[in-house]
Structure 1
């Protein structure tokens, strides 16, 4: 069974999705906002989904489902995609039909139809959130941008996005920090610029959402930012 805890390989990061071709180390149980697809071209992987081990060459892990990597003996392809933008079934279909290469997966996910939010209040709140990521993001200020009360905004986010405001802020900050790291910033500087208190806060958040620390996830990963 795989004992390594560090990820080694390549990570391509797009605006609303990420692609990894890597040897995945074991992770602690965790749940994150992204839909996740694991594609194992050689030996199958074993993943614990809500405490039940599943072994397969292809696994789809929906948003917010608790899981952990139990055994991944070879390099695998992994797709992360924001549920805000991707319908789970559409993502499942295009990824499972794509050839197993980063280039093919990038082409498939890039051309996968995006969801329409359809609610200008959510769009206004998300636009304000992205503008304020480097500072504190008060829920009340986001609600004001959407012309809603805070309780109304929380209900709207829960129904349309599937997670509370604070969780979405954390998700967006993690992505921003990763973009800055990809652009060459030291981890500590990227963490501060993305609104984290320090690099330890960034690493704890990464472990909470992905089951690995910043060192485990980034030390041996070749990073590329997609246009």
Structure 2
């Protein structure tokens, strides 16, 4: 049974046998689940953490080592509606939990790794895991809803056929879309999504490349999709963000089934 990688606009679900990543920092919040035996989480200058389940807030540098076990890794972007379920827990930092408390976990992994699983079913798996972990296992804490003005700009950026290079973007133009001053918009954006506008654009371009890379003939083509002038710079940035070289993630098709999902077509 192949590893399965599902990529939406604001979510990622990875179901696999074993996983080892390099040190990296995601814009998304992460939920790492190890099924048959504990895995290890490594943080900079700290002892390793053994876990069967762990929640990691956005922008935390870490690497994962899971051997002889199936894993389920979830990435939830701060501009996702699902993020509202976990946003109230951010102040608690990294939280370890017992994945054995997730009902039918082994069956969930099998379903996620099955090639017969539909896009809608994959999202239900993702959604149910988030709701189970933050409510039944970890305490659910209410948080304020995403600011509508920031989400208006986010939706505008997602709708663009060409995602602008971070250096090309005019913050004043985006601020005018929601009737804010440039300075107020800059602070509100970072306060809401924990990242600057320019870094958000960089992550958005990387996500676009990730969703299309398995269709590309080489890394140079993928780099151009992401707006990088050369594949070496693209590979370094991708590895720093996702913990893997793009060639490893997207060229090992014998081991990993990659599914890029258009959320507008799945009713999400």
Question: What is the TM-score normalised by the length of structure 1?
Answer: 0.79
Does 2:114 correspond to 1:107?
Answer: no
| Offset of residue 28 of structure 1 | 3.0
Distance 1:139 1:67, change over 3 A: farther
Name stretches of at least 5 consecutive residues in structure 2 with no aligned partner. 90-94, 132-143
Q: Which residue of 2 aligns with 1:74?
A: 69
Partners of 1:36 and 1:60 within 8 A in 2: yes
Larger radius of gyration: 2
1: CA distance, partners of 2:164 / 2:87: 35
Q: Which residue of 1 aligns with 2:15?
A: 21
Partners of 1:133 and 1:195 within 8 A in 2: no
2: CA distance, partners of 1:67 / 1:97: 24
Over the aligned positions, Cα root-mean-square deviation in angstroms equals 3.0
Distance 1:68 1:43, change over 3 A: same
| Offset of residue 109 of structure 1 | 2.6
Aligned residues: 216
List aligned pairs for 1:21-170, cutoff 5 A: 21-50=15-44, 51-85=46-80, 86-87=83-84, 88=86, 97=102, 99=105, 100-101=108-109, 102=112, 106-110=123-127, 116-119=145-148, 121-130=149-158, 131=160, 133-136=162-165, 137-140=168-171, 141-170=173-202
| Offset of residue 64 of structure 1 | 1.4
| Offset of residue 44 of structure 1 | 1.2
| Offset of residue 105 of structure 1 | 6.0
1: CA distance, partners of 2:227 / 2:195: 20
> 3-state DSSP class of the match of 1:36?
strand
Q: Which residue of 2 aligns with 1:190?
A: 222
2: CA distance, partners of 1:133 / 1:201: 20
Name stretches of at least 5 consecutive residues in structure 1 with no aligned partner. 1-7
Question: Which 4+ runs in 1 deviate beyond 4 A?
Answer: 89-93, 110-113
Question: What is the TM-score normalised by the length of structure 2?
Answer: 0.68
